[in-house]
Amino acid sequence: MKAELIIDTWRGLSICARHFYGELHLEDGTTFEIERSLTSQEIRTFNQHEKQNCEILGLSYDKFGQYRKGDVSGRFDSFEDIVAALPDFVKKNNIDVDEIWYSNENNVLWRQTEN
């Protein structure tokens, strides 16, 4: 099956935005948000940022913050990190893909993948 990996970011459009996000669109119309497990360091960092954001916005940190071990995220640090995570994501979710087009607003790449 063919698929397109669309990579997007809010960098340059939103204050403090720094992450990339990926969606895998299969030719049958199914869409997957590419996710990965958070590292311990990311959990600490995200919780610290969420607490600061909640304080600024006057929201309850207890309700909106607090990432925990085992949580997953669609946040990636780079285009390349999403591409590198894709084979494991496809395998973990039993997605039958043999051809993937990678795209973002700046480039389109083609890659043949193995099942």
In this structure, are 51 and 104 located in the same domain?
A: no
**pLDDT interval class at 110 (50, 70, 90):** very low
In this structure, are 20 and 31 located in the same domain?
A: yes
Residue 102 contacts residue 111 (beta carbons within 8 Å): yes
Average pLDDT score over residue span 96-113: 65
Residue 3 contacts residue 93 (beta carbons within 8 Å): no
Q: How many CA atoms lie within 13 A of 8 on its CB side?
A: 10
Task: Give the count of domains, the chain.
Answer: 2
Answer whether residue 112 shows pLDDT above 50.
Answer: no
Q: Could you tell me the residue range of the domain that residue 64 belongs to?
A: 38-71
In this structure, are 29 and 66 located in the same domain?
A: no
In this structure, are 85 and 50 located in the same domain?
A: no
In this structure, are 31 and 79 located in the same domain?
A: yes
In this structure, are 85 and 113 located in the same domain?
A: yes
In this structure, are 47 and 103 located in the same domain?
A: no
In this structure, are 114 and 98 located in the same domain?
A: yes
Percent of the chain with pLDDT over 70: 77
Enter the pTM of the model: 0.70
In this structure, are 78 and 115 located in the same domain?
A: yes
pLDDT at residue 115, as a whole number: 45
